[in-house]
Structure formats: structure tokens, C-alpha cells
Amino acid sequence: MKLIVITALILGASWSLARAQEQELRWGEFGYYSNWERFPYAIKSEYKFIGKLPDLREFPLLLTAALDPKMDRSDREIIISQMRTLSRCDFEKRILRKEDDVAAEHRAAVAKWEDWWTRYGSKLAQSLDQSGDRNVAAWKQVAPSPYLECPKYPISIPGSWSSTISFGSGDYGGVTQEVIEFHVRDTQCELRRQYRTGWMGKEDWTYEVWKDLSQEEAAHFLASLIYAIDNPWFFGDDEISEVEDKDAEIKIGTILGRPKEWTDYYPGYDWTGILDVDQRVIINHDPHNWNTFDHKLGGTRDLDEGFGVVFRLVRDLFPDPSWDPDSSRWKKVSGKPKQKAGDIE
């Protein structure tokens, strides 16, 4: 994984330590970087938390404020960005058309966050106080320097969850499709994938499983993902693809960490998020951009190709054998593994 200039991050971390004397830091903040839209100066607002990220236990106050008619559009954008940061969920419709009812879309998104809080977030707030802990190994997985201390805020990893990541690129006879599925339970866990390249829908799938995925490895992935969601800037210099022939008239790159047939020609991906045993979202924010105080030191504020951190982390932790044959444990199987109860269809 390519990384941001270390000195800039350490400067930002030093700034964070100074700021920590004034208030306890929350996730989604690192020096002059922020997952929510915070300002380095005072602005006029009716919103109570305009200048600081509230505690997760105060999430119901954000739900109320998000629908408060006194809040103007700028206030609502800040509130939504804070809800997204605290919940690590994004329930907003990403692309609105001019004929869409923006107010209705906003209310629908807030309703989804309210449902998340009722069934999961409120319990998470309690479990973080009672049994949450730091995960130094997961932090080191994504942090760009061993000198950056693991943050003090606790995280909590569910024992059972599932997730599916789908990647696609190309057109005509060069269409690539890849589907990666996690199925983690208290008693067993499985990571499997299927992929094919060629004409859409006409090629056979290749099926593989990650040999002997352990409960500890699954927990390490999810903990690393949480830290990556909180700190997407750690991947700021990471490139999804690389162009071999830079002199070519049409520059088509190869997706790094994948076979050469995986190209960046019309690339895209989809992620279900992390789902509970009832297939409901508990985490689904895959950030690819963020906010900064300092536009000189924090010049990079988005990831390339619109890809967030999820695909990159899976690529790094579960490498394709064409890139890392010594570490890869992908093993071909004769057909699609049988689905177990609770699996994603």
C-alpha cells in the first residue's frame, strides 16, 4: 500500500495531541483531517455541536437536529457528516437527480440512521463502555508509521457478520467480474470468491475459498476496516491501478493486486456493508474523500477512481496469488460452495 508523506501525518498527529488537551478525540479525526465537515473557526449556527464531534451516546440529539426546521442546509450537511462518522454508516442517496425530492430523501436517510441507532448503535454505545478495547495489531495494519500510537477510543467486533464486495470493469469481450463474500459466525467462518473475464454472462465462473480462515483473522480484518474507515487519509497515496504503456493512445491500467485481466477500464464496485445475522447493515461507510483544515499540508483529500478503503484492504489482507504467491491462500474449488443458513443470496 502506498502511503501519505509520513512527516505530514506526524505533524498532524502532534496537532491532535495538543487538541486532545481541550477535548477527548473521537474517531474520524486525525490532526487537520476529518471525516466530518468541521471548521477551524467559529461560524454562526443554531446547531449545538457545530464545532465538535459529540459522543456516540449523544446520537439521538443528532437525529433530532437533522430534522429541526431551524437548521439551514449547511447545518444539516454538518449534522449528516457527523452521523456518518459516528455510525460508520452512510444512508444518503449518493446521486440526486433534479427531479428528486431532496427533503424527502433527507428524511428517508435520517429514518435509516434512526433505525440503525435503535437496533444497533445504542447497544454499541453500551458495549464500548463495558467491553470495548483498542486493537493495536489492526491499527498497525493500516497506519502508515509504527510511530503513530493506536488511538485510545475503544472498538467492538461482533462475533457474527457477513459482507459481499463486487468488482467489475471492462466492456465487450474484456468484462471482468469478481465477487468476494465473508461469512463469519461464532462457530465457523468462511471467505470465498468467484470471478470471470470475457463476454458478459458467457464465461464460466472460477470459484475459490481462502483456506482455513480463522476467527482471529476475520476479527483482524474487521478491526482493521474500522480503523481504515476512521482514517481513509492513510490510503491517500494508494493507487488502484497502474498503466504499463504510458505512451499508448488509450491508457488502460491493470488493477494492482489482481491478475492483468482486471483493468481500470470503466471500473466499479459495490459493497453490502457489514451485515448482522439478520442481514441488516451495521457498518457501510466506505469513505473515498474527507475534509482538511490545512490545504497545504493536507492537499490530498480523496482516493483515486472513486474507490474507498474496503476493496483496498481486502486486496492487501487477502492477496491474489498472481501478486503474492507466498501469502495467498486462495484455493480453487470445483463449484460454488454450498450456502449456509444466514448467507447472503
Query: 276: closest CA among 200, 222, 336, 330?
Result: 222
**For 175-184, which contacts have Cβ atoms below 8 Å and span 24 or more sequence positions?**
175/199, 175/200, 176/261, 176/262, 176/263, 178/258, 178/262, 180/314, 180/318, 181/343, 181/344, 182/218, 182/221, 183/340, 183/342, 183/343, 183/344, 184/159, 184/160, 184/215, 184/218
Give the C-alpha separation, 133 to 68, whole Å. Answer: 35
Give the pLDDT score at 196: 96
Give the pLDDT score at 170: 94
Give the pLDDT score at 336: 78
Give the pLDDT score at 247: 74
Which stretches of the chain are DSSP H helices?
Answer: 6-20, 59-66, 73-87, 102-116, 122-130, 136-142, 215-230, 310-317
- The sign one gets for the Cα dihedral 53, 59, 63, 68 is negative
Q: For 238-259, give the secondary structure using H, E and C.
A: CCCEECCCCCCCCCCCEECCCC
Q: What is the DSSP-derived secondary structure letter of residue 133?
A: B
What is the torsion angle, in degrees rounded to the nearest 10, for the CA atoms of residue 274, residue 280, residue 283 and residue 287? 90
C-alpha cell at 234: 492513510
Give the CA distances from residue 105 to residues 109, 112, 201, 231, in Å, rounded to whole numbers and listed in that order. Answer: 6, 11, 34, 28
pTM: 0.90
Give the pLDDT score at 21: 35
Give the pLDDT score at 324: 96
Q: Taking a C-beta distance cutoff of 8 angstroms, is the pair 291, 33 a contact?
A: yes
Give the C-alpha separation, 173 to 175, whole Å. Answer: 6
What residues in the chain have per-residue pLDDT under 50?
1-5, 14-23, 341-345
Give the pLDDT score at 2: 44
Give the pLDDT score at 288: 95
Query: Residues 6 or more apart from 71 whose CB is under 8 A from it?
Result: 46, 47, 65, 79
Task: Quickly list DSSP for 59-84.
Answer: HHHHHHHHT-TTS-HHHHHHHHHHHH
Q: Taking a C-beta distance cutoff of 8 angstroms, is the pair 287, 311 a contact?
A: no
pLDDT, tens digit, 9 for 90 and up, residues 75-128: 999 999 999 999 999 999 766 666 677 889 999 999 999 999 999 999 999 999
Give the pLDDT score at 197: 95
* φ/ψ of residue 210, rounded to 5: -85, 115
C-alpha cell at 302: 480523496
Which residues sit opposite 333 in a β-bridge? 207
